[in-house]
């Protein structure tokens, strides 16, 4: 069986969420020299890649990509690709925190607004007392502060650098500073810190099971409607896309 399913020219590995976390756990244990960049690729990023070759090469260079959202999974299935399930940044982060708590991994949390960044570290510290929070910084820093943040992360050498700066800015940021960050793994997690901190409501499991996460987010944050217009456009283009080999 093919290990990948191709959607709009991007090869998505057929990994479940659990398998994804297993791979990441191995990466941490292997102590690799290079940062392992995980990118959760959603329909917006997939569409953006069609026109933006720099973003496309960031995805091609990633250690691992995941199918972020039911849109990618459905298109894959309709085209016979059979991606097993969606692997979102939020779900991956929760599993990493859970495993990190068992295996005593160290984390650095970059991103979200200052209050949320502080709050999220309190919440995570309480819920997962055995993982190590090496440091944190909010995501609204000035250009002039950037070098210091990179230096701090680089000197702390976290197992996992969690970047909540919004996509695809987080992905570009990680890629740009990859060689200086000294993290084993870096992952962009979109608005996940907002959810863990309680600023934004988490999608209830019943909605997730019905694959209606996108609708729940739209109801919670109606300002996202413009962004979500891309979903039907993505579906049509991706289904008609002529995949090369």
Choose between 104 and 227: whose C-beta lies nearer to ligand UDP: 227
Among 190, 203, 214, 234, binds ligand UDP (CB under 6 A): 190
Q: Kindly state the DSSP code that residue 165 receives in the 8-state scheme.
A: S
Task: Tell me if 91 contacts ligand UDP by CB under 6 A.
Answer: no
Least CB distance to ligand UDP at residue 169 (A): 7
Least CB distance to ligand UDP at residue 166 (A): 4
Choose between 167 and 174: whose C-beta lies nearer to ligand UDP: 167
Among 71, 81, 100, 111, binds ligand UDP (CB under 6 A): 111
Among 26, 61, 140, 236, binds ligand UDP (CB under 6 A): 140
Ramachandran angles phi, psi of 14, nearest 5°: -85, 65
Choose between 100 and 190: whose C-beta lies nearer to ligand UDP: 190
| CA–CA distance, 66 with 46 (Å, rounded to integer) | 12
Cβ within 8 Å of residue 164, ≥6 positions away: 109, 110, 111, 112, 139, 170, 188, 189, 190, 191, 192, 193, 194
Neighbour-count burial of 92, counting CB atoms closer than 10 A to its CB (0-12 exposed, 13-18 middle, 19+ buried): buried
Among 41, 121, 187, 193, binds ligand UDP (CB under 6 A): 193
Stretch that binds ligand UDP, among 49-57, 121-129, 142-150, 186-194 (CB under 6 A): 186-194
Find the DSSP H helices in the chain.
Answer: 17-30, 43-51, 53-61, 70-78, 89-103, 114-127, 143-156, 169-177, 192-196, 205-209, 213-220, 225-228, 230-240
Task: Tell me if 139 contacts ligand UDP by CB under 6 A.
Answer: yes
Task: Tell me if 164 contacts ligand UDP by CB under 6 A.
Answer: yes
| CA–CA distance, 48 with 166 (Å, rounded to integer) | 14
Choose between 28 and 65: whose C-beta lies nearer to ligand UDP: 65
Ramachandran angles phi, psi of 4, nearest 5°: -125, 155
Residues that bind ligand UDP (CB under 6 A): 111-113, 139-140, 164-167, 190-191, 193-194
């Amino acid at each position: 069986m093919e290990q990948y399913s191709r959607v709009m020219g991007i090869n998505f590995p057929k990994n479940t969420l659990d398998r994804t976390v297993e791979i990441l756990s191995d990466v941490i244990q292997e102590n690799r020299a290079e940062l392992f960049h995980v990118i959760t690729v959603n329909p917006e990023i997939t569409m953006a890649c069609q026109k933006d070759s720099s973003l496309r090469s960031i995805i091609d260079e990633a250690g691992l990509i995941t199918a972020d959202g039911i849109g990618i999974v459905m298109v894959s299935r309709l085209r016979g690709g059979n991606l097993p399930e969606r692997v979102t940044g939020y779900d991956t982060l929760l599993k990493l925190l859970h495993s990190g708590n068992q295996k005593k991994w160290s984390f650095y949390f970059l991103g979200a607004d200052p209050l949320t960044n502080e709050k999220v570290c309190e919440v995570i510290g309480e819920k997962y007392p055995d993982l190590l929070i090496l440091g944190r910084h909010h995501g609204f820093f000035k250009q002039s502060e950037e070098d210091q943040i990179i230096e701090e992360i680089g000197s702390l050498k976290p197992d996992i650098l969690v970047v909540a700066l919004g996509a695809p800015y987080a992905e570009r940021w990680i890629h740009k500073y990859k060689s200086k960050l000294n993290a084993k793994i870096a992952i962009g997690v979109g608005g996940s810190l907002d959810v863990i901190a309680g600023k934004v409501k988490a999608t209830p499991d019943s909605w997730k099971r019905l694959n209606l996460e996108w609708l729940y987010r739209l109801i919670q944050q109606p300002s996202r409607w413009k962004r979500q217009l891309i979903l039907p456009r993505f579906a049509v283009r991706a289904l008609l896309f002529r995949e090369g080999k």
